[in-house]
Amino acid sequence: MKTAARSDVIVLGGLTMDLTYFVKQWPKVNEAVQASSYELCPGGKGFNQATAVKRSGGIVNFIGSIGNDNFSKQIIGNLKKEGINADGIINYKDIRTDLIGIIVDPSGTPGFIGIRQSTYQLTPNIIETKISLIKNAKVLLVNSEVRLETVIQALTIAKTSGLITVYNPAPPEKLPENIYKLIDYFTPNIWEARMISGMNNASASELATHFKNKGTGTALITTGRDGCVVASDRGLKSYMAFPINEVDETGAGDTFCGYFAYHLSKKEPLEECIRIASAAGALACTKVGGRSAPTASELKGFLAKNKGRLL
């Protein structure tokens, strides 16, 4: 039997093809809008997060599933190009690879429409066959692209195996009460946090406190240009965002999570993990597409220019 490769971070999430349209305005009902340009490339929150881990300097393994089509071949090729271990990826012959449509307006704000077919094939039973991959990692980074019961199974295995667990609950859905005790770091954006909690008008501080009280180790609510708010055992604290000229914020959250998870695996202080992840997320907004994570050297240069800046 092949020995599972060791990693800094094991990512469980989606592998998709992303079709991104750049438009001057959002289409209204029955209106046809011409895009100024488009991109077709592999993506998915899982792929984007794994790419961020790898570009940050980490060793990353991936658990995911794809179909049997030209899209799946492009995805595997891009995984190899990024240096992401694909041993945990399952190819289903009778299923199509997931496709996501993205519309980006001039402000860089994206909207999404998609279908999950291949990703939904990942069941708790499948995760049981990937236990060695999970146990050989330092951090589990998982999102809600996969089935909720699969998320819970992965978090349970990781938690009992001594891993740090990071859960990015996107796309958002109502969560069972028993999931929170399995989460060391809970990282929704403010819109996702409001959807999950039902607190539609709550502030980031109120939401962070709410999820901390639910049982998560640390609740970290990202708010885009306004930075993030963190509720931990040390209390509540706000962090400013890095100022940038934003082009497309599609992959910013995934980049934040990937860099955050990797630096957690290095056992760096929480504030340093947030500083680095915030800078990486900001840089991602200056590029087009979901897999817009900067390299470690690009981030180093950006941080050097912002050396005197405090969070």
CB distance 154 to 140 below 8 Å? yes
185 in Cβ contact with 155 (< 8 Å): no
Q: In the sheet that 98-104 helps form, which strands lie side by side, from edge to edge?
A: 35-43, 16-23, 98-104, 110-115
Binding residue positions for substrate: 16-18, 44-48, 145, 254
Rounded Cα–Cα distance for residues 15 and 26 (Å): 26
Is 94 assigned a catalytic role? no
The dihedral built from the CA positions of residue 147, 218, 208 and 270, taken in this order, carries a sign that is negative
Residue 8 DSSP SS3: strand
What type of residue is 148?
A: L
Annotated binding site: 16-18, 44-48, 145, 189, 222-227, 248, 250, 253-254, 284, 287, 289
Q: Which of 8, 98, 184, 254 is catalytic?
A: 254
For 204, which DSSP code?
H
Binding-site residue positions for ATP: 189, 222-227, 253-254
Q: How many whole angstroms separate alpha carbon 257 and alpha carbon 71? A: 25
Q: What is the four-CA torsion angle of 268, 272, 278, 283, rounded to 10 degrees?
A: -80
Which helix (H) or strand (E) covers residue 218, if one does?
Answer: strand 218-222
The beta-strand segments (E) located in 13-106 are 16-23, 35-43, 60-66, 85-91, 98-104
Q: List CB contacts of 101: < 8 A, sequence separation 6 or more.
A: 19, 21, 112, 113, 114
**Do residues 20 and 228 touch, judged by C-beta distance below 8 A?**
no
Known binding-site positions for K(+): 248, 250, 284, 287, 289
Residues recognised as catalytic: 254
